[in-house]
């Protein structure tokens, strides 16, 4: 069947089997491999993307269910060359080790901060409670999100200092 999905602002139309999962549509049909395919059982959250206004686990959504809708993936987080404050927070606070859970974590963090610009640590932990970091790096993930909240609420944000004098912005 024909499916048209707007991903990060760009429309894509593909002929797919109805049983195709959204995560595989993004990765295999569109080549957007930033979203990770993890547990396959809606537990780990590596595959989290936004479907319209909310994060969902894309291993449990069929591609046809996204037909006519907007999807936002980690590739759509930065604004041009400027990283999203959440991405900067993960860079500044060592919010990733292996990086597998990172795209989903960041998309959920972005959603949280859009709804709640000044979350408590407990609220951050609850927001990411459906996602697993197999490196168990939760402390730094929470710090990263709180870093992003602080720098956003301060009005604009600055590039994190990587300690080598280089600008974290690409």
Partner 1 sequence: MQVPAQVEYEKAVSVEHALALLARYGPGARILAGGHSLIPMMKLRLLQPEVLIDINGITDLCYINLAGALLQIGTLTRHAQLLDSALARAHFAILHDAERVIADPIVRNWGTVGGSLCQADPSEDLSAAFAAMKGTMVIHGPDGSREVSAREFHTGPYETVVGPSELLTEIRLPIRPGGGSGYQKVSRRAGDWPIGAAGAAVWLDGDTITDAGIGLTAVGATHFAAAEAEEYLRGRDAGDDTLRRAGEIAAEHCRPVSDQRGPADYKRHLARELTTRVLRLAVSRARGALS
Q: At what angle do helices 102-115 and 85-92 cross, to 10 degrees?
A: 130
Q: Which of 11, 19, 136, 166 touches partner 1 (CB under 8 A)?
A: 19
Do 41 and 64 form a contact (C-beta atoms < 8 A)?
A: no
Phi, psi of 27 (to 5 degrees): -80, -45
Q: Kindly state whether residue 108 participates in binding partner 1, applying the rule CB under 8 A.
A: yes
Residues contacting partner 1: total by CB under 8 A: 28
Q: Kindly state whether residue 29 participates in binding partner 1, applying the rule CB under 8 A.
A: no
CA distance 44 to 37: 9
Q: Which of 6, 60, 78, 97 touches partner 1 (CB under 8 A)?
A: 60
CA distance 77 to 82: 9
Binding span for partner 1 by CB under 8 A among 42-50, 76-84, 137-145, 160-168:
42-50
Nearest CA to 57 among 108, 17, 16?
A: 108
Q: Which of 34, 38, 55, 137 touches partner 1 (CB under 8 A)?
A: 55
CA distance 60 to 50: 13
Structure tokens at 24: 């595989």
Q: Kindly state whether residue 71 participates in binding partner 1, applying the rule CB under 8 A.
A: no
Q: Kindly state whether residue 21 participates in binding partner 1, applying the rule CB under 8 A.
A: yes
Q: Kindly state whether residue 139 participates in binding partner 1, applying the rule CB under 8 A.
A: no
Binding span for partner 1 by CB under 8 A among 50-58, 92-100, 140-148, 160-168:
50-58
Nearest CA to 54 among 115, 101, 7, 99?
A: 115
Residues that bind partner 1 (CB under 8 A): 1, 17-19, 21, 40-43, 45, 48, 51, 54-57, 60-62, 64-65, 67, 108, 126-127, 129-131
């Amino acid at each position: 069947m024909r499916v048209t999905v707007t991903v990060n602002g760009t429309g894509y139309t593909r002929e797919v089997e109805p049983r195709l999962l959204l995560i595989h549509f993004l990765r295999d049909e569109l080549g957007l491999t930033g979203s990770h395919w993890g547990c396959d059982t809606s537990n780990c959250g590596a595959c989290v993307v936004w479907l319209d206004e909310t994060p969902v686990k894309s291993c449990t959504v069929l591609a046809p269910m996204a037909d006519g809708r907007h999807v936002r993936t980690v590739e759509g987080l930065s604004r041009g060359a400027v990283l999203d404050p959440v991405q900067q927070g993960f860079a500044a606070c060592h919010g990733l080790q292996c990086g597998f859970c990172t795209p989903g974590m960041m998309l959920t963090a972005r959603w949280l901060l859009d709804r709640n610009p000044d979350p408590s640590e407990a609220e951050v932990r609850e927001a990411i409670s459906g996602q697993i970091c197999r490196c168990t790096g939760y402390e730094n993930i929470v710090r990263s999100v709180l870093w992003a909240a602080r720098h956003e609420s301060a009005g604009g944000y600055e590039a994190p200092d990587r300690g080598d004098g280089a600008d974290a912005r690409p």
